Amino acid sequence: MAAAALESMKELNQQNGLATDENQFLTFQLGSELYGVDILRVQEIKGYTAVTKIPNTPPHIKGVLNLRGTIVPIVELRTKFGMPTIDYTMFTVIRSGDKLVALLDMDRLLTDGEMQETGSAQAA
């Protein structure tokens, strides 16, 4: 199932002109689903720091953080998708278009290869 997810992800990225077969992904699990982000889009991974809440924004916008002088919004997908939240230890700062966003959910980072294995293990 995970392998299938990876394939469809690659396809999507290819359609968007974002990726080739060679791409590596940072993957993470939300509920039973596996998601991935093209590793080339990952700006940096940053330890958890104090967050400033933005007033009058939806709950999945957790606030902003200071990335060496740049203000970066923090998004939590678990809240967005109505899933139970967990304790976070890091931010993954991702480039989306010309903007940066810090994702909270990426706690288990797997490489492409690792995930293939996981995928086949699950399939077995």
Partner 1 sequence: MSNDFAQFQDAFFEEAGEHLAVVEEGLLALEQHPEDLDLLNKIFRSAHSIKGTSGMFGFNAVAQFTHKMETLLDLLRNGQKAVSPSIADLLLKSTDCLKTLIESVKTGAAVDEGTVQQLTSELAAASQSDDKPSSQNPKATQTVSTAGSGQDQIYLITWTPPEWLFRRGLDPLQITKELCDLGNLTDVTLDVSRLPHLAEIDPETCYLSWSMRLTTGKDLNVIESVFEFVREDSRLTIEKTIVPGSEFQVSSTGSQHETRNLQRETDDGSPKPLGEILIESGVVSRETLDQALAQQKRVGQILVEQHAASPQQVEQALQKQRQQESAAQSRKTDTASIRVDTDKIDKLINLVGELVITQSMLSDLGARFEMSHMPVLLERMAQLERNTREIQERVMSIRMLPIGTAFSRFPRLVRDLSAKAGKKIQLVLSGEETELDKTVIESISDPLTHLVRNSADHGLEPPEERLDNNKQETGTIRLNAFHEGGNICITVEDDGRGLNRDKILAKAVKQGLIGENEKLSDDQIWLLIFKPGFSTAEKVTDVSGRGVGMDVVKRNIEGLGGTVSIKTRPGHGTIFILKLPLTLAIIEGMTVRVGQETYIVPLLSILESIQPKPGGVKTVVGKGELIDVRGTYLPMVRMYEIFALQPEITDPTKAILLILETEGERVAVMVDEILGQQQVVIKSMEQNFRKVEGIAGATILGDGTVGFILDVRGLLEIARHGEPVAA
Closest distance between partner 1 and the C-beta of residue 61, in Å? 8
**What is the pairing mode between strands 99-103 and 70-75?**
parallel
Closest distance between partner 1 and the C-beta of residue 98, in Å? 9
| List of residues 6+ apart from 84 with CB closer than 8 A | 78
Please give the single-letter amino acid code of residue 21: D
- Let me know how long the chain is: 124
Question: Residue 47 interacts with partner 1 (CB under 8 A)?
Answer: no
Q: Which of 8, 14, 20, 57 contacts partner 1 by CB under 8 A? A: 57
Query: Binding residues for partner 1, how many (CB under 8 A)?
Result: 21
Measured between alpha carbons, how far is residue 29 from residues 1, 65, 72, 77, 119 in Å? 12, 24, 23, 11, 12
- Closer CB to partner 1, 29 or 63, in the complex: 63
Binding mask 92-111 for partner 1 (x = CB under 8 A): -------xxx----------
Question: Residue 85 interacts with partner 1 (CB under 8 A)?
Answer: no
Largest CA distance in the chain: 48
The footprint of partner 1 (CB under 8 A) covers 49-50, 52-58, 63-66, 69-73, 99-101
